Amino acid sequence: MFGGCLLLRVVGLRGVEDVAAGLRSGLAAVEPGALIRRVIKRRGDCLQIGGKMVELRRFSDLVIVGGGKAAEGMAAEMLRFLDGFDVRGVVVVPRGYRLKRRLKPLEVLQGGHPLPDSSSEEAGRRILETASSCSGDSLAFVLVSGGFSALAAVPAEGVSLQDKVETTSALLKAGASIDELNTVRKHLSALKGGWLAKNLRCRAFSLILSDVVGDRVDVIGSGPTAPDPTTFRDALDVLRRRGVDVSENVWRRLRRGAEGVYPETPKHGDPCFRRVVNVVVGGCVDAVKAAAVEMRRRGYSVVALTSGVVGEARNVASLFAAVARDVVKHGVPHAPPFALVAGGETTVTVRGRGRGGRNQELVLATLHLLRDVPRFVFASIGTDGVDGVTDAAGAVAAPQTLRNAAREGIDPLQFLEDNDSYTFFSRVGGLVLTGPTGTNVGDLMILAIR
């Protein structure tokens, strides 16, 4: 059964069953195999992919490369579609991830996440090596999902893996958006920003599961098979705007790149992209739609707001809190029972020393703003099952959460100011646990007013 999504449980908080069911439905809808089956059909020895037909017997070498948090499910489904043909390749999954399916004959490697490590570099070099071994008789399938940027990391000339790790860590702590993060990472990489496509000397289909708002193929996984619209100068602007402290190696590479010493990432018009077809197989909107259907089935008036929620978690909390107040006081946009479903990816600028993640922080910030609102339940989770450096996917809160906090003698605002949402929900209840889900399409949020 898919990656544990049906094992979703809320620790220490009752009365949230409807929202939990909505979260489960959202996760089930973004199971990687199901999404790939939606865009690929096999008819005899032909595959129809994203509206294009390809005859498999025309190729003597079928290759699968890629990685990410959904790599296992995507690779297993591609092997099923290629049944009866010889296949080779390599995929990378998060360190510690336990495979639930056999992926032979593929080589399966593990990499570090959310920060790359030496195994990530090894995996990235194996992917580049495999891609470079392809010829005109090869047909490649590139599988990209969230987490690929860290799991397969090959430093560009002039920088080390440690330089990349420190830069990524500094940007994350500074609250950098995924666009900003990838703009910098692509210019420190020999794999991302279109360089994988540049190394593929054969026809290729890149199957992409989106974990970013807007589903831009140049951003997902740092765009290994997509033209990169950003430049070295853009990367320098991000570092200056965020005021992060990075190594001299990083500054030197980006400055020399802006001066033309290093080649820019491949752009639109590069011949390498004529051989590659990028297909987005699914994204956050699929989870939002499915969760909305489940909440409607349970008797709620539902607004599926957007799959594009972005911004600082504490600021986004104001939106959800405002909606809750309007529903309770004015019946706008609907009278209770009402549910608002959304998705996206918030950011957190870390100022305290606590432990948590963007979803837990969003829920805690919303809880603080809803102290005097009755009958609400609010949840936000990472669809990969991981929120920050914790074992929780996210959190759920309700008026009972505030009563539990009062009994414990603790103040939600104090924990919020210290970015310590995990400790707060550990003490009062409300952590959402799923384990690794085997997918990743960003975050899923549900507000319910009963």
- Which tens digit of pLDDT belongs to each residue from 368-398? 999 999 999 999 999 999 999 999 999 999 9
Q: Residue type at 17?
A: E
Residue 6 has pLDDT above 70, yes or no: no
pLDDT number for residue 319: 98
Could you identify the residue written with the tokens 């890629």? 66
Report percent pLDDT > 70 for the chain. 99
- Which tens digit of pLDDT belongs to each residue from 332-370? 999 999 999 999 999 999 999 999 999 999 999 999 999
Helices marked H in 135-282: 148-151, 161-173, 178-186, 195-199, 232-242, 248-258
Q: Where are the beta strands (DSSP E) in 50-134?
A: 52-55, 61-67, 87-94, 107-111
pLDDT number for residue 12: 85
Average pLDDT, the chain: 96
Could you tell me if 328 and 364 are in contact, meaning their C-beta atoms sit under 8 angstroms apart?
A: no
Cα 225 to Cα 200: distance, rounded to the nearest angstrom: 9
Could you identify the residue written with the tokens 């999504």? 5
Instruction: Indicate the pLDDT class of residue 5, thresholds 50, 70 and 90.
Output: very low
Task: Compute the average pLDDT of residues 200-213.
Answer: 96
Instruction: Indicate the pLDDT class of residue 114, thresholds 50, 70 and 90.
Output: confident
Q: Which CATH superfamily is domain 32-154+189-230+265-282 in?
A: Glycerate kinase, MOFRL-like N-terminal domain (3.40.50.10180)
Domain boundary assignment for the chain: 5-27+284-449, 32-154+189-230+265-282
Residue 2 has pLDDT above 70, yes or no: no
What is the architecture, at CATH level 2, of domain 5-27+284-449?
A: 3-Layer(aba) Sandwich (3.40)
- Which tens digit of pLDDT belongs to each residue from 144-160? 999 999 999 999 999 99
Cα 292 to Cα 446: distance, rounded to the nearest angstrom: 9
Instruction: Indicate the pLDDT class of residue 115, thresholds 50, 70 and 90.
Output: confident
Could you tell me if 257 and 264 are in contact, meaning their C-beta atoms sit under 8 angstroms apart?
A: yes
Q: Give me the numbers of helices (H) and strands (E) for the chain, helices first please.
A: 16, 16
Residue 37 has pLDDT above 50, yes or no: yes
DSSP structure class, residue 381: E
